[in-house]
Amino acid sequence: MSSHRTADLGFARLDLDRAARTGTPEVVYAAGKTPAETVACLAALLDGGAPIAFATRVDDPTAAAVLERWADAVVDDAARVVFVGELPEPEGEVLVLSAGTSDGPVAAEVAATLAALGVGCRRVDDVGVAGVHRVLAVSEELARADAVVVVAGMDGALPGVVAGLTDRLVVAVPTSVGYGAAFEGLAPLLTMLTACAPGVVVVNIDNGFGAAVAAAKVVRSQR
């Protein structure tokens, strides 16, 4: 069946028709791969016909290897993401809120992934519930967004407060930011899963990529 073409690289078997089947292209998760392996995966995806290929969790040697192969590749340092190819025109708008400055890298991964998927994005950072007026101040942005992604570590209380203020789906991303009883992200993960406001859904700790894919599905289903 044509929707199940695979590129077999020996160390990896890439799913070339994932975009056709699931709406989201195969993406290279670079953690645990050598720079050469990541480059080979990106190349195979482009060879398979993808207009843009990208990798997440990219370290410096991998970013260098990608730039050496494709001089016009784009490296997003904050997000640890690289793109090869042309970014699509953005459609719609996802509001990306983060609770603290240390949550920045995960919020950046959300934004970079949305860009690669062709979805518009507006970021507002450092919106902690300890100053709840900072949350109320984004009401206007909430009203305008197609979906909302909320990134928070430590107590992870922000998504529950936001979900009480909007009729949009709130995708919550716990982060491993914090210390002690935050237990590497377990505390905000549990907080988000038990948030009292319905309409909060949760992805894995630090999984900005997954949150962006989910939000993009919501945006695209509206068009």
DSSP code of residue 183: G
Of the residues 121, 135, 150, 151, which one makes contact with a second copy according to CB under 8 A: 135
**Helix and strand counts by DSSP (H, E) for the chain:** 9, 11
Residue 169 is a binding residue for a second copy (CB under 8 A): yes
Site for a second copy in 63-102 (CB under 8 A): 99-102
Distance between CA atoms of residues 183 and 176, nearest Å: 8
The phi and psi torsions of 216 (rounded to 5 degrees) equal: -65, -35
Stretch of 47-55, 61-69, 80-88, 157-165 contacting a second copy, by CB under 8 A: 157-165
- The single residue listed with the structure tokens 């793109």 is 83
For residue 132, state whether it binds a second copy (rule: CB under 8 A): yes
Using CB under 8 A, which of 48, 85, 160, 208 touches a second copy?
160
Residues that contact a second copy, how many (by CB under 8 A): 93
Q: Which CB, 73 or 214, lies closer to a second copy?
A: 214
Q: Of the listed pieces 44-52, 65-73, 82-90, 129-137, which binds a second copy according to CB under 8 A?
A: 129-137
Rg over alpha carbons for the chain, rounded to the nearest Å, is: 18
Task: Report 4-33 residues binding a second copy (CB under 8 A).
Answer: 4, 6, 10-13, 15, 18, 21-24, 27, 31-33
Separation between Cα atoms, residue 169 and residue 60, nearest integer Å: 35
Residue 147 — φ and ψ, nearest 5°? -160, 165
Q: Do the bridges between strand 91-98 and strand 147-152 make them parallel or antiparallel, or are there none, so unpaired?
A: parallel
**Rule CB under 8 A: is residue 181 a binding residue for a second copy?**
yes
Closest separation in Å from C-beta 95 to a second copy: 13
- Whole-number minimum distance, CB 60 to a second copy, in Å? 17
Gap between the Cα atoms of 44 and 14, Å rounded? 8
Residue range at the interface with a second copy (CB under 8 A); choices 44-52, 66-74, 82-90, 207-215: 207-215
Contact yes or no for 67/35 (Cβ under 8 A): no
Per CB under 8 A, does 185 bind a second copy?
Answer: yes
Binding status of residue 115 toward a second copy by CB under 8 A: no
Containing 62, the helix (H) or strand (E) segment is: helix 60-69
